[in-house]
Amino acid sequence: MKTFEEKWTAWLDGQLTGRQLAEFEASLPDRAAAEAEKADAKKLGGLLKRELRAQTLANEEFFNHQLRERIACEHAMPIRERNASIHTWWTIRRLLLTGTASLAVFLIFAIFVTRDKNPAGRSQYLTQILNARVDPVISPNATISMFEAKEDRVTVLWTEGLQSLPADYAAK
């Protein structure tokens, strides 16, 4: 059994038909006032439907909206980064300074350590004899050889058969 309010709502919505409609309208104490109220309710319903419907955006408005959102994001990002940099130790500046300091330490080691580690035994650091010749007229039997005394880092050009000279030639 429906209450009066339910029947009233159904009547306003136009959902009562036939015998139910006739009985309800007969039960109304002031039919004219009820009709006026029904008309107002319909009017209000129509107005609400029209105004509260989701607004569809035109193309131009849609793109404007997208742009505004993107700009808002871009503006918001540096703030986030700035906030993050406050909390982290490895700022760009510190990274640069650390890199420079590391380079300086490397150079100091490279200079002092590698300089002292100069390989004494390597032949490129020994004196090299590129060529040698004697006058074949003065010393026809002369021979030349060369060798390196690596232990003492000395290079020797060894000649044999050069013209022998008297002791007087040892004079200063």
Q: What is the DSSP string of 7-74?
A: HHHHHHTT---HHHHHHHHHH-S-HHHHHHHHHHHHHHHHHHHHHHSPPPPPHHHHHHHHHHHHHHHH
CB of 42 or CB of 94, closer to other proteins: 94
Which residues contribute to the site for other proteins (CB under 8 A)? 97, 100-101, 103-105, 107-108, 111, 115, 118, 120, 124-135, 138-139, 149, 152-159, 162-172
Q: At closest approach, how far in Å is the CB of 136 from other proteins?
A: 12
CB of 81 or CB of 152, closer to other proteins: 152
Q: What's at 130, amino acid-wise?
A: L
Q: At closest approach, how far in Å is the CB of 117 from other proteins?
A: 13
* Residue 44: both structure tokens together: 């209000």
Q: At closest approach, how far in Å is the CB of 106 from other proteins?
A: 9
CB of 66 or CB of 98, closer to other proteins: 98
